[in-house]
Amino acid sequence: MKLLQAWPGHKGEKVRSKTDGVFYYQARWRLLTDDGMKVVERKKTTFSTRAKRDEYLKRLDRAEWGVEKWRFDEHGFPTQAPVVAETVLSALGGYMDSRWTTEWQSSQRNRVHGQAISLVAITLTRSKDRDALLVALEQQRVDRGGRREPVTVVEWAARWLRDYSFYPKAPTTVSEALTSGKRWVEQNSMHLSSLDVDTMTRLRKFFTEGKPYATARSYWSSSLVPFFNWLLDTRKVPHSLLAGQPKLPRDQEGERPDPRRIPDPRQLREIAATMGESHGPAWETFVLLTGYCALRISEALDVRLDSFEKRSGRWWLNVATQEHRAVAACSDTGATKERMRTKSTRRRTPAPRLVPIPNQLLERLEAHYGSRLGTTDVRFFVGPRGGVANASTVREWWNCAIAEVFADNPRLAGIKPHSLRHAGMTYWFAAPNADQKKIQLWGGWTSLTQMLDTYRGVIDSLEEVSLDGLDDFVEQFAATADADQPSNATGNLVQMSEWTRRRGRAV
């Protein structure tokens, strides 16, 4: 918490007690949360003399700047109680426990675990210990059956780090040699208070220097930066450890979408129909809405009924928020998901952005939601039990649908949900006389130059496409569907009554 304002409690500085008539002095103050977004309720306390009150005001000032170990406690009062020094090893243990079974898939767990033990090694207090442990870890990297048996305590420390550290189900009793290796790491691990600018620079260079962009991004941005942000979110460090650290330069060439791996509207409908058959009509709508409106999956999962609004006779989708994973320890409700603003490069893109809805998609939305569209703050997409949809589960459903639809199409096999955003951008570019500045605003891009540079290959591949408009572009692919499929106002929409009857539920 940060001090917003501190002042004497009364203009006359003296306040008469209503009970016994004695005069006393007050100190009052207000606080901000660490992120500076929420004002904590006003605090006050009383003193018998002005000198004591003035001394307390000085304590508030010391707590704001952390002078002489003063800080604000969880209730917002200044305290000089000692803070238990936490090491990198123990903090990593708490971080891994909080994410291991809730957010990470197995491949991500393995990757983060590998970077975590490297982080422990290069944050030991002495440089010679760092070098020795890194060598020992390299020896332990081979298959378990071919590794040599550790001899020194450092080698046992490497064995413990690789095989037992941070795993939730690791055995509680291990050999005495492994115990000595664990104890050695614990004693030599650097305290969080020692993670200064020089140390962070050394860490960043270790994980990024001389490595390809994809590897550096995986090691540093995807594995370690979330840990440093978690330290700040849980107030284990007083300020961001990443302050002053340059971000990885973007690899524009690598980030450009491959036009051969973007589904066209017909293929998008096939994916949507498969999702609808397996998980219900709402998830057919999820694929179509995400694709036609060029949404990120986190934005799509946070769409509400009142996210739709009608302007100038046409329905638009108001994209202002996304579902964001939060740290339960720093959440007001203990939840691990919260709403936050949509992604914005350097926070320059104004929110919200209004996205046009093709007529055929609008027919589907009105068929499902009718007059409720645009009226109430109710989520569009919820989990099987009515709760907040889980992004990991939706991705699993997506992967199964893609494997089924593109079993004989290696060009599109394995595409990710983010390809729906690329698909929506492509459809906008494909419309004749498309206003690229409007597309930039619809897609939420910081600059027109950045958007065109990213989608350059896609735009070039659309030269042979000749269409009459965005709605006609979508309907052209719908009209070429198999003739044996019924044609109705809602296309191939999976009807709710049919889907529930098929599963033996009451209609």
DSSP string covering 356-410, please?
A: E--HHHHHHHHHHHGGGTTTS--BS-B-TTSSBPPHHHHHHHHHHHHHHHTTT-T
pLDDT at 185: 93
CATH 1.10.443.10 in the chain is located at: 259-319+347-502
pLDDT at 420: 93
Reported pTM: 0.56
Joined together, the tokens standing for residue 309 give 């609004």
Could you say which residues of the chain have pLDDT below 70? 1, 9-23, 34-38, 40-41, 81-85, 101-103, 105-107, 143-145, 250-255, 324-339, 343-351, 384-388, 462-507
How many angstroms from the chain centroid is the CA of residue 117?
A: 23
Which phi and psi (to 5°) does residue 70 adopt? -75, 145
Q: Alpha-carbon distance 269 to 49, whole Å?
A: 76
Q: Which residue type does 49 have?
A: T
pLDDT at 387: 65
pLDDT at 272: 93
Q: What is the chain's mean pLDDT, rounded?
A: 79
CA distances, 390 to each of 202, 324, 386 (Å)? 37, 11, 11
pLDDT at 133: 93
pLDDT at 270: 93
CATH number of 259-319+347-502: 1.10.443.10
Which of 11, 453, 85 has the alpha carbon at shortest distance from 255? 453
Q: Alpha-carbon distance 426 to 459, whole Å?
A: 7
Give SS3 for 464.
coil
pLDDT at 124: 93
Continuous segment of H or E residues that includes residue 79: strand 78-79
pLDDT in tens, 401-424: 999 999 999 889 999 999 999 999
